[in-house]
Structure 1
Amino acid sequence: MLSSAAARYSSSTKFPVFATYNFLHSFSCSLTRKYYLHSHSPKPNNISDAVDTVTRLLHMWPPPSRSHINKILGSIVKMKHYPQSDGFCFLYTQENFQDGLSTSRCSFDYTIKGLCFNQNVGKALDFYDEITSKGLKLDEVSYGTLANGLCKMGKTTSALKLLKVMRRRLVKPNIVIYSTIIHALCKEGLVNDAHNLSFEMTDHGVPPNVVTYNNLIHGFCRMDQWQQANQLLNEMISKGIQLDVYTFNIIVDALCKDGRIVQAQAVFARMVKSDQRPDFVTYNALIDGHCLTNNIIEAKKVFNKMVENGLAPHIISYHILINTCFKMKMVDEAMDLFKEMHSRNLVPISLAEDYQLNVRTYTAMIHGLCKEGFLDEAVALLDRMEENNCLPDSITFNIIIRYLLENNENDKEVKVLSRIIDRGVLKK
């Protein structure tokens, strides 16, 4: 159980000793080692083939090369599977091989990575207990995977305890492990704790890099602690650490959200001067900043500049502008932007994200039309939404039903309600 497995780091750390198993059977393989290795690819087509291959290889004597087995284990991890199969007995039989520990660490890394990837962090910790109780040692890669898994499950305190375990076992945490935990602490709003950890890592001979600083700056900006964020920026510059696109995007976005658009534009200018090419995240932050102050003219200028610089506007750009146009009762402009959005060949980030943004954009359009009294146009847009394979959600339907009721459009209301029932949004 994850809670019990992760809880071991909340107090004194004690690792139980498990019985040693010997899974490698002492019998001859009916196939010659040479024939089997040549007839089985290290990149199996499916999970069953992979498990079968590992199991047969384990029954060979002398044993096959670990690199061959590791390639198959890597393929299993990439398939996002961790079957409880005899094929993984190899991971528990290190004592059967006499040519050194380090050659099979990759196998342990794959196993821990597979378990953590599938959110079985508790099992990964149990596996860690078992191999360390046999005197086997893990490197910083395996510890980093465990720390990442704990952080993703919200067990940041346990990840911090893991750092102490590493030091006791004379394994030096690397920059990736520290940055992972710092990111998790900042995400939880524990920015001061994250900052203290950055001092600790420096004391242990691991200087922060641009990723570490980005996490801390983002954390302080989210907490409106601008002085600390600015101090970290100056620290980066004094240490010769170059600000990257993510650094500038964090600052521009935070300033825009705080209504400090003039300062955001100054940072944008410095970004360009530093030979860091703004991306659509940068431009969207500025567009949103102008829209928050109802400056739609400047927002459109930024939008046009983005296109002129060779960046295809994302649906987010249109969503921000359309919402603002309706907010300012600029219905015609909103409709023009909506038509333009559909006429452009937008570059998607991901299908799932684009689908959700499409629903939100249509809903914003319908809401804006309803507010301005264009109910027929709103119902027509609802029809068009479904024709474009973008199904309305409960929010979309709630908006249009409310306005139809308020305007005594009973016939239209009944038709929309029937549609809601047909879609399964509302049961009869």
Structure 2
Amino acid sequence: MAINVGNLLDGLLIFELMLRYDYHPTEPTLNKFILMLCDAGMVSNACLVFSLLLRRSYIYSVYCYNLILWALYKTGQSYTALQLFYLMKKKGFVHNVCSYTALIYGFCREGLQDNVFQWLDFMQSNGCKPNVIMYTIIVKFLFDNGKFEEAMDFVNKMEREGCNLDLFTYNVILRELFHRDRLDDISELI
């Protein structure tokens, strides 16, 4: 109940009490708790909660640690995120597109283009198909680094693979076309 009403401090105290008596939260409650910790900037606490439950074999699915992966990358802790990624793989967890998107996002954020495309290839070779969010992150990264033609090639690749562009993707493209004063292309796109 403390988590459901958004009381993070009481949630932490109750979580400690639960562990003391060998109880564990349900998956939806755990996910919400970890999300609340990450949103509050308490990523290290989220990692601690996660590791305590992992040691007791109470981690349920990929969705739980994906929240932490995203938080680690958003706070510039890429090395820790990559360690978590490999640890979960070693523990037998199968990564999903959200896991890989978090990695790609982190590499884009740090400007590591080689790693972006290396992980994209690795993900696809493991049978995981990129989604519109991942492609948009890559397209924006390429635009931001002055690689207009490469970015537009990715947009075409999205369309060829049946990955429908969303409003955010179109806005990223329109923004770049506007910055390049390509009004004819903007009109054509709209």
Give the alignment's TM-score, normalised by structure 2: 0.91
Q: Is 1:127 aligned with 2:17? A: no
Distance 1:168 1:248 in 2: 35
Aligned to 1:232, the other structure's residue is in SS state helix
Instruction: Please identify, of 210-219 and 280-289, the stretch whose mean Cα deviation from structure 2 is larger.
Output: 280-289
Q: Does 1:138 align with 2:25?
A: yes
Deviation at 1:112?
4.2
Q: Does 1:178 align with 2:65?
A: yes
In 1, Cα distance between the equivalents of 2:166 and 2:31?
30
Match of 2:187 among 304, 307, 312: 304
Secondary structure at the aligned position of 2:29 is classed as helix
- Measured against aligned partners, the alpha-carbon deviations of 1:98-139 in whole angstroms (never above 9, x if no partner) come to xxxxxxxxxxxxx14314xx3x21111112233444453333
Measured in 1, the distance between the counterparts of 2:167 and 2:22 equals: 51
1:155 aligns with 2:42: yes
Contact 2:24–2:58 under 8 Å retained in 1:
no
Could you say if the C-alpha distance between residues 135 and 271 of structure 1 is closer, same or farther in structure 2, counting changes exceeding 3 Å? closer
Q: Residues 247 and 135 (structure 1 numbering): CA distance in 2 closer, same or farther, change over 3 Å? A: closer
Show the counterpart of 1:236: 123
Alignment of 1:274 with 2:157, yes or no, is: no
Q: 1:135 to 1:220 in 2, by over 3 A?
A: closer
Partner Cα distance (1:162, 1:128) in 2: 9
Greater CA radius of gyration, 1 or 2? 1
Which amino acid is 1:217 matched to? I
Output aligned runs, 1:1-400, within 5 Å.
Answer: 111-115=1-5, 118=6, 120-292=7-179, 295-297=180-182, 299-301=183-185, 303-307=186-190
* Alpha-carbon distance, 1:235 to partner: 0.9
For residues 215 and 267 of structure 1, the distance between their equivalents in structure 2, rounded to whole angstroms, comes to 18
Q: Which amino acid aligns with 2:49?
A: L
Unaligned runs of 5+ in 2: none
Tell me if structure 2 keeps the 8 A contact 1:271–1:278: yes
For 1:191 and 1:135, the matched residues in 2 are separated by: 32
Decide whether the 8 Å contact of 2:142 with 2:148 is kept in 1. Answer: yes
**Aligned partners of 1:256 and 1:288 also within 8 Å:** no
Structure 1 gaps, min length 5: 1-110, 308-428
CA contact (8 A) 2:82 2:103 kept: yes
Aligned counterparts of 1:200 and 1:173: Cα–Cα separation in 2: 15
Partner SS state of residue 136, structure 1: coil
Give identity over the alignment, percent: 24
What whole-Å deviation, never above 9, does each CA across 1:254-278 have from its counterpart, x for those lacking one? 1111111011011111011001111
CA distance 1:137–1:197, change in 2 (3 Å): closer
Q: Counterpart amino acid of 1:226? A: Q
Distance 1:137 1:188, change over 3 A: closer
**Deviation at residue 145 of structure 1 after TM alignment:** 2.2
SS of the residue 1:296 aligns to: coil
Structure 2 Cα separation of the partners of residues 234 and 112 of structure 1: 42
- Give the CA RMSD over aligned residues: 1.8
With normalisation by structure 1, the TM-score equals 0.42
- Alpha carbons of 1:243 and 1:305: their partners in 2 closer, same or farther (altered >3 Å)? farther
Q: CA-to-partner distance for each residue in 1:406-428, whole Å, 9 max, x for gaps?
A: xxxxxxxxxxxxxxxxxxxxxxx
Q: 1:215 to 1:197 in 2, by over 3 A?
A: same
Higher relative contact order (Cα pairs below 8 Å, separated by 6+ residues): 2
Q: How far did residue 208 of structure 1 move?
A: 1.1
AA matched with 2:4: G
Change (3 A) 1:125 1:258: same
Shift in Å, 1:157: 0.9
Counterparts of 1:126 and 1:225, CA distance in 2: 40
The structural deviation recorded for 1:182 is: 0.3
